[in-house]
Amino acid sequence: MMPGNWEGSRRQSELPDDWAERKQFVWERDHGLCQWPMNLDTYLVHDPAQFTLDNLERCGQPARDVDHIQHGNNHDVDNLQLLCGWHHDRKSSAEGNAAKTAKRGTNRLCKHPGLL
């Protein structure tokens, strides 16, 4: 198990001094649109570097947030993308649940077996 990197209070201070400029760059580069790859459901469990993201179909909805493609302290613009609120929330919860999901292993479907 990895030691926790979730020091929320420190995270803000780890952003680079030119963070605002980087965000501005990303907003312009991505045209203010969500960059989530629609034809790649398994995006989160793969190394994004393996893909040529330009070849992927994007969500294209108006973006809400600048997202770190790979979680961590890499604030390079190459590691930043725009996401709409829906995809950012989805990705954030997926990252937060990744560890739990990995060891849960069982699907708890709330579906009555006799209900057809």
Q: Looking at the chain, how many residues does it have?
A: 116
**Beta-bridge partner residues of 80:** 68
Are 58 and 38 contacting, i.e. CB atoms less than 8 angstroms apart? yes
**Closer residue to Zn ion in complex, CB, 32/96:** 32
Binding window for Zn ion (CB under 5 A); candidates: 5-13, 30-38, 39-47, 90-98: 30-38
Among 23, 48, 61, 64, binds Zn ion (CB under 5 A): 61
Identity of residue 110: C
Among 26, 80, 82, 84, which residue sits at the site for Zn ion (rule: CB under 5 A)? 84
Tell me the sheet residues that pair with 67.
Answer: 81
22's CB contacts (< 8 A; 6+ apart) are 16, 66, 75, 77, 80
Nearest approach, Cβ of residue 113 and Zn ion (Å): 35
**Candidate list 34, 66, 80, 82; residue touching Zn ion; CB under 5 A:** 34
Report the alpha-carbon distance of residue 34 to residue 99 in Å, rounded.
26
Residue 63 within binding range of Zn ion, rule CB under 5 A: no
Q: Does 36 bind Zn ion (CB under 5 A)?
A: yes
Residue that is written with structure tokens 């469990």 in the block: 45
Query: Using the rule CB under 5 A, is 59 a contact of Zn ion?
Result: yes
The size of the interface with Zn ion (CB under 5 A), counted in residues, is: 6
Contacts with Zn ion, residue ranges (CB under 5 A): 34, 36, 59, 61, 84, 87
